[in-house]
C-alpha cells in the first residue's frame, strides 16, 4: 500500500517551485503552457532553461556531477507535478531523451561536450528516427551512414522531425549494414544540423501548424567520434531512449492540471442552478475521466516508488503511454465540448495571464491526437505488452 501524502520535504519543495515559477517563469510562456501549446518559441524556452540552470533545476534527474539534484524519487515526482500545475513548459527533449541516453551510453568526452550545453539551453535537439517508410516498423529504416575514413557519410531522409527547423543538433539512427537482421546494422549518431548537405523542409499539419519536418541528407559528414554506442548496435541505444520517451508521453501531471482548470471553468461559467441536461452529462464524463486519471496516477506512483516498483521500465512505460494519452485526449475532447462553438475561435486579446479555455480547446484537442501516434503508436504499445507481459 502506498501512502500518497507528500512528506514535509516534498511539500516544502512544491512551495519553492511555486515561488520560483511566479518569479522566473516568463508570463508569456506560462500562458502558452496553459493553452496546451507544446512548441513555445525558442527565445522563451531558452530564457526559461537559463533560469532553471541558474537555480540548479535544469535536469534534476541527472547525476549530481552532471548538474542533477540527487533528490529522492518522491521529490522528483513532487517537482514535476508542481511544474506542470504552474504551467511550466514540458522539459526539453534533450533532458527527457538524449541527455539520459548520453549518460547511459556516451563516452566521457561526449558527456562533457554535450551535457553542459543541453543544460543551459545553448543546444536544442531533435529526434531523427522515423522515415517515410519506417515508422511503426522502425527497424526497417534505410537512411544510410557509410564509413569514409574518420567520418560517416549520410544519405537519405528522416520524416516527422519535431522542431527540426529550430534545433541545433539531431540524435538519429542510421543504416550501416543491411546484411543481417534488420535490427542489426543500425548505428546511433549525433549530428550538427548546420552540417553541409542537411536540408529541412516543413510539414504543415492541421491548423496551419509547423512543428514537424522532413529532413534530407545529401552526403552529410558526421565524425565517427559522434557515434553513441557501438557501430551496428544502435538499436539497443534507440530502444533505451524510446522507453524514456514513452514514459514522458503519459503526461499525468499535465492532465491533472488541465482537468483542474476545466472544472474551475465549469463551476464559474455554469453555476449549478443554470446547468442544462447537456452540462450534467458533460460533468458525468468529466468525473469518469477524473476517476481514470486518479487510477493512472496511482499506477504511475506505484511503478515509480511502490514496493512492487520496477527497476527498469519496459512494458510498464507502454501501459502508461496508452492510458495517459487516451485520458489526455478524452479531457481535451470534453474541454472542446464544454466550450462548443466558442472553442473554434481564438481570442484576439491573448494577453491575460490565464486565458479562458476557449482560446485553445479546439486547437489542443486536435493537436493532441498526435500523442497516440508518436513515441510508437498505441497499437504498437499493445503489441509490446502482448509480447512482454502476456508472452503472446
Ligand X SMILES: Cc1cc2nc3c(=O)[nH]c(=O)nc-3n(C[C@H](O)[C@H](O)[C@H](O)COP(=O)(O)OP(=O)(O)OC[C@H]3O[C@@H](n4cnc5c(N)ncnc54)[C@H](O)[C@@H]3O)c2cc1C
234 binds ligand X per the rule CB under 6 A: no
CA angle 153, 191, 375 (to 5 degrees): 110
Residues 290, 344 contacting (CB under 8 angstroms): no
The cell for 349 is 486579446
Binding residues with ligand X: total (CB under 6 A) = 19
Cα–Cα distance between 172 and 181 in angstroms, integer? 19
Q: Per CB under 6 A, which region of 146-154, 262-270, 316-324, 369-377 contacts ligand X?
A: 369-377
360 binds ligand X per the rule CB under 6 A: no
Residues 210, 202 contacting (CB under 8 angstroms): yes
Q: Per CB under 6 A, which region of 8-16, 18-26, 225-233, 376-384 contacts ligand X?
A: 376-384
Q: Which is nearer to ligand X, 51 or 249 (CB)?
A: 249
383 binds ligand X per the rule CB under 6 A: yes
Coil, strand, or helix at residue 12? helix
Non-local CB neighbours of 277 within 8 Å, separated by 6+ positions: none
Site string for ligand X, 142-171 (x = CB under 6 A): ------------------xxx---------
Site string for ligand X, 180-199 (x = CB under 6 A): --------------------
Q: Which is nearer to ligand X, 69 or 211 (CB)?
A: 211
Q: Per CB under 6 A, which region of 14-22, 126-134, 147-155, 254-262 contacts ligand X?
A: 126-134
Closest residue (Cβ) to ligand X?
135
Residues 215, 161 contacting (CB under 8 angstroms): yes
Cα–Cα distance between 151 and 191 in angstroms, integer? 11
Question: Of these, 48, 129, 217, 368, which contacts ligand X (CB under 6 A)?
Answer: 129
44 binds ligand X per the rule CB under 6 A: no
Alpha-carbon distances, residue 365 vs 6, 190, 209, 371 (angstroms): 32, 34, 14, 11
User: Minimum Å distance from CB 158 to ligand X?
Assistant: 6
385 binds ligand X per the rule CB under 6 A: no
Residues 89, 40 contacting (CB under 8 angstroms): yes
Site string for ligand X, 84-123 (x = CB under 6 A): ----------------------------------------
User: Minimum Å distance from CB 32 to ligand X?
Assistant: 17
377 binds ligand X per the rule CB under 6 A: yes
Q: Which is nearer to ligand X, 76 or 246 (CB)?
A: 246
Site string for ligand X, 240-259 (x = CB under 6 A): --------------------
Cα–Cα distance between 273 and 276 in angstroms, integer? 9
Q: Which is nearer to ligand X, 107 or 133 (CB)?
A: 133
Q: How far is CA 65 from its chain centroid? A: 24
Cα–Cα distance between 274 and 287 in angstroms, integer? 19
Site string for ligand X, 312-351 (x = CB under 6 A): ----------------------------------------
Sequence-ordered strand ranges (E) for the chain = 125-128, 144-148, 151-158, 169-175, 186-192, 198-205, 209-223, 227-228
HEC per residue, 28-41:
HHHHHHHCCCCCCC
Query: Which residues sit at the interface with ligand X, rule CB under 6 A?
Result: 126-130, 135-136, 160-162, 212, 370, 373-374, 376-377, 379-380, 383
Amino acid at each position: 500500500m502506498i501512502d500518497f501524502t507528500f512528506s514535509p520535504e516534498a511539500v516544502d519543495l512544491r512551495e519553492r517551485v511555486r515561488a520560483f515559477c511566479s518569479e522566473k517563469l516568463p508570463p508569456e510562456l506560462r500562458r502558452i503552457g496553459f493553452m496546451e501549446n507544446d512548441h513555445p518559441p525558442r527565445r522563451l524556452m531558452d530564457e526559461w532553461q537559463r533560469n532553471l540552470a541558474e537555480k540548479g533545476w535544469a535536469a534534476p534527474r541527472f547525476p549530481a556531477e552532471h548538474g542533477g539534484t540527487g533528490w529522492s524519487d518522491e521529490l522528483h515526482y513532487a517537482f514535476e507535478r508542481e511544474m506542470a500545475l504552474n504551467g511550466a513548459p514540458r522539459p526539453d527533449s534533450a533532458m527527457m531523451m538524449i541527455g539520459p541516453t548520453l549518460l547511459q551510453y556516451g563516452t566521457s568526452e561526449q558527456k562533457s561536450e554535450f551535457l553542459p550545453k543541453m543544460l543551459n539551453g545553448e543546444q536544442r535537439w531533435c529526434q531523427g528516427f522515423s522515415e517515410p517508410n519506417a515508422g511503426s516498423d522502425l527497424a526497417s529504416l534505410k537512411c544510410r551512414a557509410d564509413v569514409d575514413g574518420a567520418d560517416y557519410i549520410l544519405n537519405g531522409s528522416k520524416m516527422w522531425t519535431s522542431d527540426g527547423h529550430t534545433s541545433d543538433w539531431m540524435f538519429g539512427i542510421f543504416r550501416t549494414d543491411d546484411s543481417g537482421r534488420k535490427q542489426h546494422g543500425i548505428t546511433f549518431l549525433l549530428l550538427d544540423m548546420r552540417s553541409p548537405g542537411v536540408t529541412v523542409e516543413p510539414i504543415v499539419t492541421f491548423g496551419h501548424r509547423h512543428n514537424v519536418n522532413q529532413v534530407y541528407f545529401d552526403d552529410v559528414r558526421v565524425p565517427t567520434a559522434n557515434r553513441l554506442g557501438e557501430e551496428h548496435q544502435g538499436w539497443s541505444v534507440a530502444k533505451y531512449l524510446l522507453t524514456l520517451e514513452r514514459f514522458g508521453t503519459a503526461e499525468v501531471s499535465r492532465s491533472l492540471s488541465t482537468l483542474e482548470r476545466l472544472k474551475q471553468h465549469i463551476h464559474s461559467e455554469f453555476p449549478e442552478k443554470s446547468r442544462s441536461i447537456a452540462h450534467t452529462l458533460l460533468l458525468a464524463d468529466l468525473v469518469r475521466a477524473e476517476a481514470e486519471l486518479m487510477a493512472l496516477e496511482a499506477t504511475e506512483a506505484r511503478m515509480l516508488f511502490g514496493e512492487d516498483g520496477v527497476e527498469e521500465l519496459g512494458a510498464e512505460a507502454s501501459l502508461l503511454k496508452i492510458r495517459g494519452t487516451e485520458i489526455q485526449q478524452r479531457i481535451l475532447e470534453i474541454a472542446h465540448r464544454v466550450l462548443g462553438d466558442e472553442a473554434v475561435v481564438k481570442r484576439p486579446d491573448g494577453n491575460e495571464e490565464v486565458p479562458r479555455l476557449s482560446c485553445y480547446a479546439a486547437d489542443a484537442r486536435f493537436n493532441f491526437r498526435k500523442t497516440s501516434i508518436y513515441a510508437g503508436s498505441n497499437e504498437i504499445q499493445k503489441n509490446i505488452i502482448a509480447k512482454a507481459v502476456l508472452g503472446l
